[in-house]
Amino acid sequence: MGLSRQPVGASTVLLLLLVSGGSFVYVAPPTNVVVSCQNLNTRVSWDYRSPQPRTVFRVTITGSSGSHEENTTEHTWYDLSPFVWRSATHYQDFLYVTVEAVQGAHQSEAIKSQSFSFNNLKTVHKTCVLDFPRAQLDVGELTSVTFENPLKLYPQLNDASELQITAIAAGQEFTGLCLEQHPICKVDVTFVEGQTKCVRLRGVLFNRRGLCQVSFRDEDGICSHEEVKEVDEKVAAIIVGSLFVLVIIVLIVIIWWVKAWSMQTSNLPVILVSKPHQRLYHPQEKVKISPVFLCSSSKSPAIKPSMSGVCSEYHSWGAQLEDQHQQ
């Protein structure tokens, strides 16, 4: 009996192993999980090169303070902004994201992103910053940089109480403070005569407890209307000059083309094409030709009267030769 039970037990174990092994399905994990933030917009994205039917992704956001949220999406990105700006605790916290691929009852390994935060006092891989509202440089009795108060423009910054501003002009720093009750933020600057009236703007938000600092991205190229006008005039002059040069070049090309077209020869064989500069024959020297007359010593009716003078001279010269020979 003991011998008969042992094979049954072994086969049962083997069957269980086969069943458990057959139920295992490998799901490839996402790759390149990256968090990006542009002003208030925060999102996570990833790559997935092995999509299968009905593949979804589970996104989990975790904070060091215990904040936690989990959701699924069919896209290869997820908007984190609603969670980040839900409370001051979230955007001031140390945060990270994990993403895993899910196919039915099977899921992949969870891939973790780099840490991020809007609080520049946190030690994270990525510190997110905000953008300044549109700023302008007003020149008058006092020159100042003004812009809409971000504490009123962004209601998400409900825990911030003040904005420290730094305007940099010609290497000098000018600071100002903007409180939450101010509709417009302002900082005064001074320029030496002849200096370019442009500034660079920096800013840091502080919360009421002083435990959080949210930085703004440096804003360059904030210039007065006069400076902008001068720059526009220079750009316009460059454009007009470039167009003038282009027109001259086009005219030269057209003139050259018309001239070349008007001087084209007919489609004759090469052998018949006239080439004045190339001699195809050797010039011959002019040969002087003297007339020769054949005269007879006897009178012949064939001699014409016009030749009688010549022939008579010939006869006279011949007679003289004959007389000399006889002597």
pTM above the 0.85 mark? Answer: no
Say if residue 153 is in the same domain as residue 211.
Answer: yes
Q: Answer yes or no: is pLDDT of 210 > 80.
A: no
Q: Tell me if 251 is assigned to some domain.
A: no
**What is the model's pLDDT at position 98?**
98
Q: Tell me if 275 is assigned to some domain.
A: no
Domain closes at, from 210, 226, 242: 226
Outline where the chain has alpha helix (H).
2-22, 81-84, 88-91, 150-153, 225-262, 308-326
Say if residue 44 is in the same domain as residue 113.
Answer: yes
**What is the model's pLDDT at position 17?**
42
Q: Tell me if 84 is assigned to some domain.
A: yes
**What is the model's pLDDT at position 251?**
82
In this predicted model, what pLDDT tens digit does every residue of 114-148 receive, in sequence order?
Answer: 999 999 999 999 999 999 999 999 988 789 999 99
Q: Which domain holds residue 175?
A: 135-226
**What is the model's pLDDT at position 6?**
42
Q: What's the rounded mean pLDDT across residues 34-53?
A: 92
**What is the model's pLDDT at position 3?**
39
**What is the model's pLDDT at position 184?**
95
Query: What's the number of domains the chain is made of?
Result: 2
**What is the model's pLDDT at position 50?**
77
Helix count and strand count (H, E) for the chain: 6, 18
Say if residue 168 is in the same domain as residue 97.
Answer: no
The CATH number assigned to the domain holding 38 equals: 2.60.40.10
> Which residue did the predictor score with more confidence, 294 or 289?
289
Q: Tell me if 190 is assigned to some domain.
A: yes
Q: Tell me if 249 is assigned to some domain.
A: no
pLDDT tier at 239, thresholds 50, 70, 90: confident
Domain closes at, from 199, 226, 253: 226
- Structure-block tokens of residue 100: 């895993």
Q: What is the DSSP string of 24-64?
A: ----PPPEEEEEEEETTEEEEEEE-S---TTEEEEEEEEET
Q: Answer yes or no: is pLDDT of 224 > 90.
A: no
What is the identity of the amino acid at 153?
A: L
Say if residue 35 is in the same domain as residue 122.
Answer: yes
CA-to-CA distance for 297 and 327, rounded, in angstroms?
20
What is the identity of the amino acid at 307?
A: M
Q: Answer yes or no: is pLDDT of 63 > 70.
A: yes
Q: Tell me if 218 is assigned to some domain.
A: yes
Say if residue 151 is in the same domain as residue 197.
Answer: yes
CA-to-CA distance for 175 and 199, rounded, in angstroms?
12
Say if residue 143 is in the same domain as residue 92.
Answer: no
CA atoms within 13 A on the CB side of 177: 5
Average pLDDT, the chain: 79
User: Looking at the DSSP assignment, which residues form a beta bridge with residue 218?
Assistant: none
Say if residue 114 is in the same domain as residue 146.
Answer: no
pLDDT tier at 271, thresholds 50, 70, 90: low
**What is the model's pLDDT at position 31?**
96
Domain closes at, from 68, 94, 127: 127
Say if residue 152 is in the same domain as residue 198.
Answer: yes
The CATH number assigned to the domain holding 141 equals: 2.60.40
Q: Answer yes or no: is pLDDT of 209 > 70.
A: yes
Say if residue 112 is in the same domain as residue 152.
Answer: no
Say if residue 206 is in the same domain as residue 146.
Answer: yes
Q: What's the rounded mean pLDDT across residues 54-70?
A: 94
CA-to-CA distance for 47 and 238, rounded, in angstroms?
46
Query: pLDDT above 90 covers what percent of the chain?
Result: 46
CB 314 within 8 A of CB 300: no
pLDDT tier at 268, thresholds 50, 70, 90: low
pLDDT tier at 18, thresholds 50, 70, 90: very low
- Structure-block tokens of residue 146: 């003004």
**What is the model's pLDDT at position 13?**
39
Q: Answer yes or no: is pLDDT of 38 > 90.
A: yes
Q: Tell me if 301 is assigned to some domain.
A: no
Say if residue 140 is in the same domain as residue 218.
Answer: yes
**What is the model's pLDDT at position 285?**
65
Give the per-residue SS3 of 121-150. CCCCCEECCECCCCEEEECCCCEEEEEECH
Say if residue 165 is in the same domain as residue 109.
Answer: no
Q: Tell me if 169 is assigned to some domain.
A: yes
